[in-house]
Amino acid sequence: MIAFWVVAGVLSAAAAGLILQNAARAAHRAGSVDPTSAVYRRQLREIDDLAGRGLIADEERKSAHAEAARRLLSAADAAAPPWTAQTQYRRPVLVAALLAPFAALGLYLAVGAPGLPDQPFRGRIAAWRALDPAMLTAPQMAAVLKALIAERGPDAEAYGFLAKAEIAAENPSGAIRALRRAIELAPQRVDLWEGLGEVLMIEAGGEVTPPAQRAFAEALKRDPASVISRFHLARGRIAAGDRDGGLADWKALASELPQSDPRRAAVEAAIAQAQGAPPAATGDMAAIRGMVEGLAARLEASPEDPQGWVRLVRSYAVLGMDSERDTALAKARARYADRPEIVKALEIAAKTAPMGKVAP
């Protein structure tokens, strides 16, 4: 604040100084003659010069010379007396030089924001990093993670977290970019490929687009048992019109899953839905709900799966099931209270906006 006023004062003084200095210099400059006649004298010399080099004919030279000479004569007649350099106007100059900064100050106080510090992006990120991560919003978290990655070099894990933060920040395209980078670094990680497929789906409003299919296929290549990939690929087949093929895949998937696996129930629910009604948005919704219920049941059975908890919380958030989300969040928090990065991921997941907002 003080620095600002000092700089503003220096600037004002410099401006006033420039005005006064120029005024003083002008007062000392000798009174010059009217330069107009000098221009015409030069014109006369030019005409002679051109004629001397043979560039204009003699006749032309004569008439051009006469014309320029007449201009010179009339300029000499009209020559204004030189201006005064008297110092009687020093006072108005001084007043003006001093008034300008004050006028500027008055206007600045009306339109400016004195004392408001700069907020460069880097500085804000540094401030966020100093905060408790739980206090950060998802976009802030994403910005912090990006800065971290830039600082510490690329790292699949960090990109994975960034992807989650981006999803929470309703920026699926950012999440996709982050996941692609993560996959470049760790192409063998099935969960990244699955995540990429899911985000691509979210971006496409729930549709299993060809890029999403490719991502799921990559996941399957690395882990033929990838349930998520098989489930969505089959869903894509149904949506594309191959209802029987998709249902057959789902049935095969269900039969391979052990009875105790809660995901089996979810797949079966989806099959029932699909058989009951033609594949539509509501059908997809029900299938997703089924999946989420399956996930919840599985975590109930074997709770040692942090990523599973994060996914569950996010799923509830996406589905708009707020009370379930809060219960799951509380449970997971209690479980992983000693692991802040998981708590952070859970917080982010919980802040995910409901589906309607993500994919309008």
The residues in 116-145 that bind other proteins, with binding defined as CB under 8 A, are 116-122, 124, 137, 139-140, 143
Contacts made by residues 137-145, CB under 8 angstroms, sequence distance 24+: 137/169, 137/351, 138/165, 138/166, 138/168, 138/169, 138/170, 138/348, 138/351, 138/352, 139/165, 139/169, 139/171, 141/165, 141/168, 141/169, 141/344, 141/348, 142/166, 142/169, 142/171, 142/174
Residue 84 engages other proteins in binding (rule: CB under 8 A): yes
Site for other proteins in 146-165 (CB under 8 A): none
Return the residue of 51, 58, 72, 301 that touches other proteins, per CB under 8 A. 72
**Listed residue (47, 50, 38, 52) closest to 67, CA to CA:** 47
Residue choice 160, 174, 197, 294 for contact with other proteins (CB under 8 A): 174
Of the candidates 256, 250, 266, 347, the one whose C-alpha atom is nearest the C-alpha of residue 299 is 266
Q: How far is the CB of 94 from other proteins (least distance, A)?
A: 9
CB of 81 to other proteins, least distance (A): 8
104 binds other proteins (CB under 8 A): yes
| Integer CA distances (angstroms), 14 to 7, 19, 129, in order | 10, 9, 41
d(CA 358, CA 170): 6
Name the token pair of 50: 């051109």
To the nearest whole angstrom, how small is the minimum distance from the Cβ of residue 278 to other proteins? 23
* Binds other proteins by CB under 8 A, chosen from 26, 126, 134, 277: 26
- Of 315 and 352, which CB lies nearer to other proteins in the complex structure? 352
The one among 97, 202, 254, 332 contacting other proteins by CB under 8 A: 97
Q: Least distance from C-beta 65 to other proteins, angstroms? A: 8
* Nearest-approach distance from CB 193 to other proteins, in angstroms: 15
Rounded to the nearest whole angstrom, what is the least distance from the CB of residue 166 to other proteins in the complex?
10
Count of residues interacting with other proteins (CB under 8 A): 93
